[in-house]
Amino acid sequence: MQGFNKYYPPDFDPQKHGSLNSYRGKHALGDRARKLDQGILIVRFELPFNIWCGTCNNHIGMGVRYNAEKKKIGNYYSTPIYSFRCKCHLCDGWFEIQTDPKNTRYVVVSGARQKDEEWDPAENGGFAVHETDPNQGPVDPLAALEKSTEAQNYMNNVQIPRIEALQNLSDHYSSDPYSHSLRVRKRFREQKKVDKAREEADEQIKSTYGLPETLALTAEDEESKAKAKEEWERARQSLEERESAKRRRIGAEVPIIPRTSSSRLSARAAPAKASGSSGGDAVSALRAKILGNTARQSSSLAGPGRAKPPDINLKGLRGLVKKA
């Protein structure tokens, strides 16, 4: 990796020297600025066309690059005119090429000859791209008038409204950028809080009901509530229909028992119920008596003799209970 650190000597003073270039007495462009006091800057210049050197008469092709001396020699209105002075690589001769902003081209001034490779549109069924002679009148006045009318209509219908729209948009966004930025950031923060709360609620619902993490839950709004309610009503209606159909099917399968048989069964079950109730009362009385005897025996055993309590014949008790 190329290093970008610079060495600052001990006697370097930023307030006095300003930069390392001024401390060393060099220009930032280095050797390219050796003639900068004369208004000349050394640049890399590429030939825009084929030429013949005027000193050695050798052909130099288009695209050959030279270290040219670039110098400003004038202006065409507000556009500067530059001169490029190059030394031929085949001899010691110099040639100079200048810019021509009026015709948007380069011109050989001295030291060489340009190869004539100009293409004239008029000779090939076209029209001249640049009209350099202001005194020359139009070839066809009607064509020139039609051209100017179309240009005026295009400017009024397309260019001017577009420029006005861009100007209004620029004024709208650059009128008070701080307030616009403050309002936008406030809206972003509010939306971020809402999204975060919704994500937390969704995560809680997923953890509560064991839903997968990749499941996307629908945002709760009026439309989703209406759809959920409609789906619930439809499901409840279908469940009621299934239950009613099931009840009808079961009612059709179970036979109807006559009333006479039911009355006879109830009459037969009445004495058994009475005997069962009397038997239950006898069992409870006998149980209370046995528990009382057991309590008395346990209190007598608490004395010094600690005699063994009498055995109770449970089989005999069960027989007595059955006889009762």
In this predicted model, what pLDDT tens digit does every residue of 213-233 receive, in sequence order?
888 887 778 888 888 889 999
With CA atoms as reference, report the closest residue to 290 among 321, 258, 323, 250: 321
Banded model confidence at residue 68, pLDDT cuts 50, 70, 90: very high
Task: Label residue 68 exposed, middle or buried (CB < 10 Å: 0-12, 13-18, 19+).
Answer: buried
Which 8-state DSSP code applies to residue 177?
H
State the average pLDDT over residues 230-248.
90
State the average pLDDT over residues 94-110.
94
Q: Does residue 226 form part of some domain?
A: no
Q: Does residue 285 form part of some domain?
A: no
Q: End-to-end distance of the chain based on CA atoms, in angstroms?
A: 113
Banded model confidence at residue 45, pLDDT cuts 50, 70, 90: very high
pTM: 0.37
Whether residue 42 contacts residue 69, with contact meaning beta carbons closer than 8 Å, is answered with: yes
Q: Is the pLDDT of residue 30 over 90?
A: no
The mean-pLDDT minimum among 24-33, 258-267, 287-296 falls in 258-267
286 or 274: which leads in pLDDT: 286
Whether residue 12 contacts residue 23, with contact meaning beta carbons closer than 8 Å, is answered with: yes
Q: Is the pLDDT of residue 87 over 90?
A: yes
R_g of the chain computed on alpha carbons = 57
Integer Cα distance of 239 and 301 in angstroms: 70
Q: Does residue 105 form part of some domain?
A: yes
Q: Could you tell me what percent of the chain has a pLDDT over 90?
A: 33
162 or 304: which leads in pLDDT: 162
State the average pLDDT over residues 307-317.
49
Whether residue 93 contacts residue 56, with contact meaning beta carbons closer than 8 Å, is answered with: yes
Range of the domain at 72: 15-116
Q: Does residue 278 form part of some domain?
A: no
Q: Which residues contact 191 (CB under 8 A, 6 or more apart)?
A: none
Q: Does residue 25 form part of some domain?
A: yes
Which 8-state DSSP code applies to residue 38?
G
The mean-pLDDT minimum among 4-18, 43-57, 259-273 falls in 259-273
User: How does pLDDT run across 120-137, given as a tens digit for each residue?
Assistant: 666 665 555 555 566 666
Q: In what order do the strands lie in the sheet with 59-60?
A: 59-60, 51-53, 112-114
Q: Is the pLDDT of residue 103 over 70?
A: yes
Which helix (H) or strand (E) element contains residue 293? helix 259-301
202 or 316: which leads in pLDDT: 202
Q: Is the pLDDT of residue 314 over 70?
A: no
Q: Does residue 103 form part of some domain?
A: yes
* 3-class state of residue 72 by DSSP: strand
The alpha carbon torsion through 69, 73, 75, 79 (nearest 10 deg) reads 0
Integer Cα distance of 269 and 266 in angstroms: 5
CA distances from 212 to 195, 218, 228 (A): 20, 14, 21
Integer Cα distance of 118 and 107 in angstroms: 12
The mean-pLDDT minimum among 29-33, 193-197, 240-244, 308-312 falls in 308-312
Banded model confidence at residue 42, pLDDT cuts 50, 70, 90: very high
Q: Is the pLDDT of residue 111 over 90?
A: yes
Integer Cα distance of 240 and 213 in angstroms: 34
Q: Does residue 23 form part of some domain?
A: yes
Total domains in the fold of the chain: 1
The dihedrals phi and psi of 40, each to the nearest 5 degrees, come to -115, 130
Q: Does residue 235 form part of some domain?
A: no
The dihedrals phi and psi of 132, each to the nearest 5 degrees, come to -85, -15
What is the pLDDT at residue 148?
A: 82
Whether residue 97 contacts residue 53, with contact meaning beta carbons closer than 8 Å, is answered with: no
Q: Could you tell me what percent of the chain has a pLDDT over 70?
A: 74
Which 8-state DSSP code applies to residue 156?
I
Q: At which residue do the structure tokens 């890399």 appear? A: 44
Banded model confidence at residue 1, pLDDT cuts 50, 70, 90: very low
What is the pLDDT at residue 123?
A: 66
CA distances from 217 to 202, 203, 222, 228, 234 (A): 7, 10, 15, 13, 21
